[in-house]
Amino acid sequence: MNPMPFDVQLLNALSALLLLLAFAMLSQRRIVTLVSLLAVQGVLLLAATLLLAWRTGETHLYFSAALTLGLKVIFLPWVLYRLIRRLGVYWDSEPLINIPGTMLIGLLIVVFAFGLAQPISELASTATRSAIGIAVAVILLSFLMMITRRKAMSQVVGFLSMENGLFFGAMSATYGMPMIVELGVALDVLVAMLVLGVFFFQIREQFDSLDLHHLESLKEKR
């Protein structure tokens, strides 16, 4: 047993929880709970950022923590909750692959991601380099979630969780992206969210449901 410093242990625990949360999202059928999980993911990210900022003394990490708090913990979940209530979509229909199957695929993805991140984390010199694998896994798991879900709402949650994974990856590899990039990404996500919100209404108006399978047929069946 090599005793690690306590803050590194805490960071590791946080990243392990992020991984667990990605699986919880993958297995969740209720959309409201999915959004709550996204908010919790934001909180974990915030905690990890603050801890890292305190540990390294990098001031720009405090800014990105504030950005995380405002955008990912408060604003986006709030918008999503409102959208859910306005659209009345509370449940996702059965995903394309059943849930235990998805989880097993998810496990394979995690193994793949850990293997993928191994050489990168050897190059990195940060204290949190071992968490890069987890960040890659979170990104790929969110991707899997976007693939297997049918409803537009859960796909958007998958998209946002993927962004969270990217943010966590950047943080653990190089202690965060430059401020300008971070602001740009945050703005992008914000705008994407707003545009998608409008899209939801358009899709529903056209097809009377948010199931994206209707988008696959090219011609209208009239």
Residues that bind another protein (CB under 8 A): 1-4, 6, 9-10, 12-13, 15-17, 19-20, 23, 27, 99-100, 103-104, 106-107, 110-111, 114, 130-131, 133-134
Q: Given the complex with another protein, which of 16 and 191 has the nearer CB atom?
A: 16
Q: Given the complex with another protein, which of 77 and 133 has the nearer CB atom?
A: 133
Q: Given the complex with another protein, which of 71 and 173 has the nearer CB atom?
A: 173
Tell the smallest beta-carbon distance from residue 212 to another protein (Å). Answer: 24
**Is there a contact between 178 and 204 (Cβ–Cβ < 8 Å)?**
no
Residue 166 CB neighbours (<10 A): 17
Tell the smallest beta-carbon distance from residue 161 to another protein (Å). Answer: 17
Tell the smallest beta-carbon distance from residue 17 to another protein (Å). Answer: 7
Residue 109 CB neighbours (<10 A): 19
Dist CA 84 CA 81 (whole Å): 5
Tell the smallest beta-carbon distance from residue 198 to another protein (Å). Answer: 36
Q: Given the complex with another protein, which of 27 and 33 has the nearer CB atom?
A: 27
- Residue from 214, 210, 215 nearest 90 by CA: 210
